[in-house]
Amino acid sequence: MKKIMSEDSSDTSCNSPLVWMMIKHLDRTDTKLNKVQSLSNQNHIAINNIKGKLEKEEVTEIKSLLNGIQKKMRNMQFEIDYLKRRSSTCHDDWMLFSGHYYLFVYKKVTWNIAKIDCQQKGGYLAKVESGAENSWLISVIKDEVWIGLNDIQTEGQWKWISDDTGISFSYWPSNQPSSKRRENCVQYCKERCGMNAYGWNDESCGSRMGYVCEKQL
């Protein structure tokens, strides 16, 4: 899906063969999903039929598995619908991950300018809430980028600019955060911070680098 989207972002012509190819691909995926949905419904009926023969715990376990599968299918449908809309309207370069959209900007600006720019684009500097989201961001970024985390207000109290909440997930390497009151804004850093993979680093908010905006539908 990421491959399709990156190709889409490089060709904004609604009439291009690439867009038609994407639409065809999405239609095929949609058909497959409908078949899986149909099978899932049949499974539901079968489970109800054998319910009386099984122990209650087994039924609960199977239902829980089925609910998980149906949830994944709803997410897939959501992404397919988004891609269909996008291929028909030829939007911008926002990328979709788990129901949120992300825009990667590599223009070098201060944290505050990055914050304002994300707001003007209808989003906010990225809020990284889980290991999955963090891993995805690291797999996509091409350079150091600002995210929305900061301790500008109170030293050591890290908060997300989008909603002023604290951190439930963090990805500090062992030597970060490092610089107390001199570094109050957070970025993804690699070689410059002495690491061979991206991790969080507190940095002077006046430094200039790219940034990641995030938004929800």
Q: Which is nearer to Ca ion, 24 or 182 (CB)?
A: 182
Q: Which is nearer to Ca ion, 63 or 173 (CB)?
A: 173
CB atoms within 10 A of CB 7: 14
Q: How far apart are the two ends of the chain, measured CA to CA in Å?
A: 19
Q: How many residues bind Ca ion (CB under 5 A)?
A: 7
Q: Which is nearer to Ca ion, 134 or 184 (CB)?
A: 184
Sole binder of Ca ion in the list 202, 209, 211, 213 (CB under 5 A): 202
CA-based radius of gyration for the chain: 22
Q: 27: closest CA among 88, 75, 68?
A: 88
Q: Which of residues 103-162 bind Ca ion (CB under 5 A)?
A: 151
Task: Supply the minimum distance, in Å, between the C-beta of residue 104 and Ca ion.
Answer: 22
Q: Which is nearer to Ca ion, 135 or 178 (CB)?
A: 178
Task: Supply the minimum distance, in Å, between the C-beta of residue 177 and Ca ion.
Answer: 6
Task: Supply the minimum distance, in Å, between the C-beta of residue 139 and Ca ion.
Answer: 23
Give the distance from CA 139 to its chain's centroid. 11
Task: Supply the minimum distance, in Å, between the C-beta of residue 180 and Ca ion.
Answer: 6
Q: Which is nearer to Ca ion, 8 or 202 (CB)?
A: 202
Tell me which residue has its CB nearest to Ca ion: 178
Sole binder of Ca ion in the list 160, 201, 209, 211 (CB under 5 A): 201
In a 10 Å sphere around its CB, with 0-12 CB exposed, 13-18 middle and 19+ buried, how is residue 17 labelled? exposed
User: Which residue type, as a one-letter code, is found at position 82?
Assistant: Y
Ramachandran assignment for 164, one of left (phi > 0), alpha (psi -120 to 50 degrees), beta (any other): left
In the block, residue with structure tokens 């079968």 = 46
What CA–CA distances, in Å, run from 155 to 33, 42, 186? 49, 57, 13
Q: Which is nearer to Ca ion, 162 or 184 (CB)?
A: 184
Pattern of binders to Ca ion over 161-190, x per CB under 5 A?
Answer: -----------------xx---xx------
Task: Supply the minimum distance, in Å, between the C-beta of residue 193 and Ca ion.
Answer: 7
Ramachandran assignment for 45, one of left (phi > 0), alpha (psi -120 to 50 degrees), beta (any other): alpha
Residues in contact with Ca ion by CB under 5 A are 151, 178-179, 183-184, 201-202
